[in-house]
Amino acid sequence: MKIINAISLALACTFYLHLAGNVMAAPRAGTVVIETTAPYAAAWPKLKAAIQNNRMGIVARASASAGAKSRGVNIPGNMVIGVFRNDFAVRMLAASVEAGVEAPLRFYLTENTDGNARLSYRKPSAVFAPYGNADLDKLAKELDAIFETIAAEATR
């Protein structure tokens, strides 16, 4: 019985350390993370306006926290926002059909423990870099500038 308890404790500690490592891990290369002083509830309208102001389209939106809330479960706010535009999609596909899996590009809005929002996104150049395609790289640089502008406007 003592051996089983020791094994269970060791497994629990390993699992905890694995989770803690994932939570504290550095963001992937090419990821931009912006801490804001805006409350999470105010961040989505600002991000939505910035996306629209920069002539990009909101293709999809998903929120685990909204889904959980509808079931009576409260978790910190989070939302993934898929963003793209058809003229970029056409150019992307002309450069690489395989790269189509990357669209829409995403912003990730999360709620910190203090209630303020964090905005994260992977630079389009980082998303498309593995394809090794000059036309895709050119498109990604244009999108980098747009995403940077959107993020700056949304987090002012």
DSSP 50-107: HHHHTT-EEEEEE-HHHHHHHTT-----EEEEEEE-HHHHHHHHHH-SGGGGGPSEEE
Tally of CA atoms within 13 A in the half-sphere of 39 that contains its CB:
2
Mean pLDDT over all residues of the chain? 88
Position 34 confidence tier, pLDDT thresholds 50, 70, 90: very high
Task: State the Cα–Cα distance between residues 37 and 115, nearest whole angstrom.
Answer: 9
pTM, full prediction: 0.81
What would the CATH number be for the domain defined by 29-154?
Answer: 3.30.310.70
- pLDDT above 70: percentage of residues in the chain: 83
Residue 97 to residues 51, 90, 103, Cα–Cα distance (Å): 25, 10, 11
For position 25, what pLDDT does the model report?
57
For position 20, what pLDDT does the model report?
41
pLDDT at 4 over 80: no
Q: Residue ranges of the domains in the chain?
A: 29-154
Concatenating the DSSP letter of every residue in 121-136 gives EE-HHHHHGGG--HHH
**Structure confidence by residue, pLDDT tens digits, 73-119:** 999 999 999 999 999 999 999 999 999 999 999 999 999 999 999 99
For position 28, what pLDDT does the model report?
84
Mean pLDDT of 143-154: 98
Position 64 confidence tier, pLDDT thresholds 50, 70, 90: very high
